[in-house]
Amino acid sequence: MLPFELRQKSRLLAKLDTGEEAGLILARGSMLRGGDLLLADDGRVIEVVAADETVSVLQSADPLLLLRAAYHLGNRHVAVQIGAGWLRYLHDHVLDDMVQGLGLAVSVGQWPFEPEGGAYAVAHASHAHSHVDHD
């Protein structure tokens, strides 16, 4: 179980739910998603779980309001998760004030954060990664 900050690192020492440590070595620019499967050197398959994090959520039936918010958040290089009728980003009270100024209500909660990968993100066609070392 990993938060977004750790799921975007190419080198990571992570602790599994079993208490074991695992060294992750991924291609630079990769981002792990909840549900991705990692193949360990010993043949085990390990599923990545996106941890719940404190996020701000914007909901609106007006797509133009959400588009304006997405534009302004993107202009500040904020990672954004996009859903049908909602946007989600890692909680930041300054950003919350900004989007409220655009006319959107903000709710804060605990949810997994799975932002868009960006135009130049490494594709995850197979959702499998190749290397996990166990200590």
Q: If you average pLDDT over residues 44-62, what whole number do you get?
A: 95
What's the pTM value of the predicted model, to 2 decimals? Answer: 0.80
58-117 confidence digits (pLDDT tens): 999 999 999 999 999 999 999 999 999 999 999 999 999 999 999 999 999 999 999 998
**If DSSP codes are grouped into helix, strand and coil, which group holds residue 95?**
helix
Helices 93-101 and 63-75: crossing angle in degrees, nearest 10, is 140
Residues 69 and 101 in one domain: yes
Residue ranges making up the domain that contains 67: 52-112
CATH number, domain of 81, equals 3.30.70.790
What's the token pair of residue 65?
A: 């309001």
CATH number, domain of 39, equals 2.60.260.20
Residues 61 and 108 in one domain: yes
Residues 107 and 126 in one domain: no
Report in angstroms the alpha-carbon separations of 21 from 11, 84, 127. 13, 37, 22
pLDDT higher than threshold 60 for residue 21: yes
Q: Which residue has the higher pLDDT, 125 or 111?
A: 111
Q: Which residue has the higher pLDDT, 121 or 53?
A: 53
Total tally of structural domains belonging to the chain: 2
Mean pLDDT rounded to a whole number for the chain: 88
Residues 61 and 34 in one domain: no
Residues 95 and 128 in one domain: no
Residues 58 and 90 in one domain: yes
Residues 46 and 61 in one domain: no
Residues 57 and 35 in one domain: no
